[in-house]
């Protein structure tokens, strides 16, 4: 059911410093910051030959990323994202397997403009997991 790894998301306490590190020290292709008000984050995508890294930075006081950074001041891996062909079929299959979909269970539009869902980390070996329809 799951396809390729779409991205690994890393919450960062200093977005510009993280962008510079990936661009200057690692020589990666680093995108521009993109505000995602519906998700309470500013994102930056780093293009790699086989996947992407998504840098996450809080957007606004109610950002879930701020809560993550309060617990992890240095930042860290926030979630992994896998591609699926049909997000509703994937959701239904996962629910039938006993996995919890966060929120109301309906897909929301993610940073790539595509439908996404998140699975509860307690059901996924301690890892917040995002599914993105491709």
**pLDDT tens per residue, range 63-80:** 999 999 999 999 999 999
Please pick, among 54, 83, 130, 132, the residue that the annotation labels catalytic: 130
Average pLDDT over residues 102-114: 95
Alpha-carbon distances, residue 66 vs 21, 60, 85 (angstroms): 21, 9, 31
Average pLDDT over residues 42-58: 97
Whether residue 61 has pLDDT greater than 90: no
Of the pLDDT bands very low, low, confident and very high (cuts 50, 70, 90), residue 89 is very high
Give residue 3's Cα distance to chain centre.
16
Average pLDDT for the chain: 96
| CATH architecture, range 5-133 | Roll (3.10)
Whether residue 55 has pLDDT greater than 90: yes
Percentage of the chain exceeding pLDDT 70: 100
Q: Is 38 exposed, middle or buried (0-12, 13-18, 19+ CB in 10 A)?
A: exposed
Structural contact between residues 46 and 28, judged by C-beta atoms closer than 8 angstroms: yes
The C-alpha atoms of residue 52 and residue 68 are separated, in whole angstroms, by 21
Per domain, the residue ranges of the chain are 5-133
110-115 contacts at long range (C-beta below 8 A, 24 or more positions apart): 110/36, 110/39, 111/34, 111/36, 111/39, 111/43, 111/45, 111/54, 115/87
Is 130 labeled as catalytic in the residue annotation? Answer: yes
């Amino acid at each position: 059911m799951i396809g390729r790894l779409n991205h690994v998301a890393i919450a960062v306490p200093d977005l510009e410093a993280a962008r510079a590190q990936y661009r200057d020290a690692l020589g990666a292709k680093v995108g521009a910051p993109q505000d995602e008000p519906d998700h309470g984050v500013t994102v930056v995508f780093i293009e790699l030959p086989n996947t992407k890294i998504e840098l996450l930075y809080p957007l606004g006081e109610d950002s879930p990323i701020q809560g993550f950074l309060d617990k992890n001041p240095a930042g860290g891996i926030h979630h992994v994202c896998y591609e699926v062909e049909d997000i509703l079929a994937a959701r239904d299959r996962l629910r039938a397997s006993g996995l919890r979909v966060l929120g109301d269970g309906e897909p929301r539009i993610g940073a790539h403009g595509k439908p996404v869902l998140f699975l509860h980390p307690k059901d996924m070996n301690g890892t917040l997991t995002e599914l993105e329809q491709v």
